[in-house]
Structure 1
Amino acid sequence: MLERESARLGFGTYSLTSEDGIDALVTAIESGYRHLDTARLYGNEEEVGEAIERADVDRDDLFVATKIAHFEEPEKTPDYVRTGVQESLSRLGVETIDLLYHHWPRGRDDIETVLPVFNDLLAAGVVDRVGVSNYTPSDLELADDLLETSPSAVQAEMHPLLPQRDLRAAVRDRDAHFVAYSPIAQGDVFDQPEIQAVAEKHGVSEAQVSLAWLLSKDGVVPIPRSKTPEHIRSNLAALDLELDEADVERIDSIDRRRRCEDPSWMEWE
């Protein structure tokens, strides 16, 4: 499904809760987003499920991803993962999770506990694909040993201020998709002269340029989030923005770096 053009630009759902969140989700689905990304930790799987129910789009046309076993969640055990996934299915109102991620592990023990359970969930048909979130290249090597099938997707922060070249290479080696969260660096891309210049050239927003730049990279799937109907729709229009080689090179040349999500304990490679 991630190979389909309709899923190449996903919709992030972090902090979209209550009725306002459902309205934003319904707007996104009915505007054309087909890839929805949530997580147990976000506390909004019920809202995502309600939006799927309300939107005038068949469930089979949607690609629903969620995540479990974030470092802030309780102690990870196999039973915790199994029970949590069943709860996610119920909250989302779906029979199968299209893509289940291990959500930001804290160390080798987490990975070694969670991923073998993912093998069981795949075999049981509870999930269709598995992925990993905020893994380093070394973590991916460990995942290779633990998973019976390669992850379909690796989710991590990526935007013009964090191009993730090494991690993207590791993801490509595994024929996986790179799902990019914080694709506009929480608004920081708006202030970058290179992006401003490309936006002015094409008569579009800086957000659209950042998303189009991500889409220009092989296998990269951005997942922007917005509550505003105008922004929800304008972000989707990035699918129609074609950057030329000079545009991409100009953005590639940005040498400023910014990581939006950076826990003090995390050792990035």
Structure 2
Amino acid sequence: MDLPPVGLGTMGIDDPDAVATALALGYRHLDTARIYDNEAVVGEGLAAGLAGDAGAAGLAGDAGAAGLAGDASAALDREDVTVATKLWIDDLAADAVAPAARESADRLGVDAIDLLYVHRPRGDYDPEATLPALDRLVDDGLVRNVGVSNFEIDDLDRAVDRLDAPLAAHQTELHPLFYNTELLDHAREHGYPVVAYSPLAGGRVREIDAVVEVADAHGTTPEAVAIAWTTAKDPVVAIPKASSEAHLRANLAAADLELTESEIAAIDAVECEEELFPE
């Protein structure tokens, strides 16, 4: 999939205005999950964004932002936005996949889910049964692309081998305190993007000396550096969560920050074994 460098992670977002504002500012990748219990919120924000309603008083009060919102949303079609959601571990039995996906599509207000993930290879997940059920959803047109999330190499190999549809993406935790280079190598070998969640390490990037030093050198924030470092790793895109207009703008702009090889290497050298969301 050709995903933009920065998308919107929505875990914890309960206001559709945040989603509509993100779309008005230029976000084109929305990520949610059944377990987040906010698919309807994302769907409402998507509908507002497609209707050209920025949905946020902050945009309306800023002439420059209002102009951007109007220009972006006026040209925004449903096909411009990648809407992704995930099936939780109790949705993964062969006979549960289709009903769960239909419920998600209904809550999101879409005819087809652009990217549907297996959230974790746990619970009712059986690659011999779950993956063919996902293939059938692609054949039926309810799902356009199938992805996986929180998989290890063996799980990824089985998914690549068992899916008829190409594996479209792997979503995994990735930030300066935790990432797995083998997962990136696998993605390069098989030609799919890695979608990095929690790229700001739950706010802890402000405590990482190497990140802070690079931020000071560029006159920017540690958050911007963390996103730039993440998206510099081919084939990685990031989905930081944000709800305020200021943070939405800053995260989107961070993809344009260019770090030197030595700056990337300095952050690479940080000990990366602090996983925020372990199995």
- CA distance in 1 between counterparts of 2:170 and 2:123 reads 17
- Unpaired runs of 5+ in structure 1? 264-269
Per the normalisation by structure 1, the TM-score is 0.90
Kindly state the Cα deviation for residue 139 of structure 1 after the two structures are TM-superposed: 0.3
Match in the other structure for 1:87: 103
Q: C-alpha deviations, 1:200-252, integer Å up to 9, x for none?
A: 01011101100000111111011000122211111111121111112111111
Q: Which deviations, in whole Å up to 9, do the C-alpha atoms of 1:182-206 show, x marking residues without a partner?
A: 1111011110110000000101110
**Deviation for aligned residue 1:109:** 4.7
The residue type equivalent to 1:33 in the other structure is Y
Supply the distance in 2 between the matched residues of 1:11 and 1:83 (Cα, whole angstroms): 26
Residue from 217, 221, 228 that aligns with 2:233: 217
Q: 1:164 and 1:256 mapped to 2: Cα distance?
A: 9
- 1:13 pairs with 2:10: yes
Structure 1 residues 216-255: aligned runs within 5 Å: 216-255=232-271
Kindly indicate whether the alpha-carbon contact (under 8 Å) linking 1:180 and 1:222 is maintained by their aligned counterparts in 2: yes
1:51 aligns with 2:45: yes
Kindly indicate whether residue 81 of structure 2 is the aligned counterpart of residue 62 of structure 1. yes
The TM-score, its normalising length taken from structure 2, stands at 0.87
Native 8 Å contact 1:2 1:8 kept in 2: no
Aligned-pair Cα RMSD in Å:
1.5
Q: Distance in 1 between matches of 2:228 and 2:124?
A: 35
Letter in 2 for 1:12: G
Task: Name the aligned partner's letter for residue 157 of structure 1.
Answer: E
Report what 2:213 is aligned to. 197
CA distance in 2, matches of 1:109, 1:43: 20
Equivalents in 2 of 1:255, 1:37: separation in Å?
28
Matched, 1:103 2:119: yes
Q: Identity of paired residues, percent?
A: 42
Equivalent AA in structure 2 for residue 61 of structure 1:
D
Partner of 2:28: 34
Distance 1:36 1:25, change over 3 A: same
Quote the offset at 1:131 in angstroms: 0.4
**2: CA distance, partners of 1:215 / 1:116:** 32
3-state SS of 2:242 partner: coil
In the other structure, the counterpart of 2:64 is: none
CA distance in 2, matches of 1:254, 1:77: 40
Q: Secondary structure at the match of 1:240?
A: coil
More divergent stretch after superposition (26-35 vs 54-63): 54-63
Classify the secondary structure of the residue corresponding to 2:196.
Answer: strand
**8 Å Cα contact 2:179/2:272 also seen in 1:** no
2:128 paired residue number: 112
- CA distance, structure 1, for counterparts of residue 124 and residue 41 of structure 2: 32
Aligned partner of 2:194 among 156, 173, 178: 178
Classify the secondary structure of the residue corresponding to 2:172: strand
Shift of 1:255: 2.0
**What is aligned with 1:160?**
176
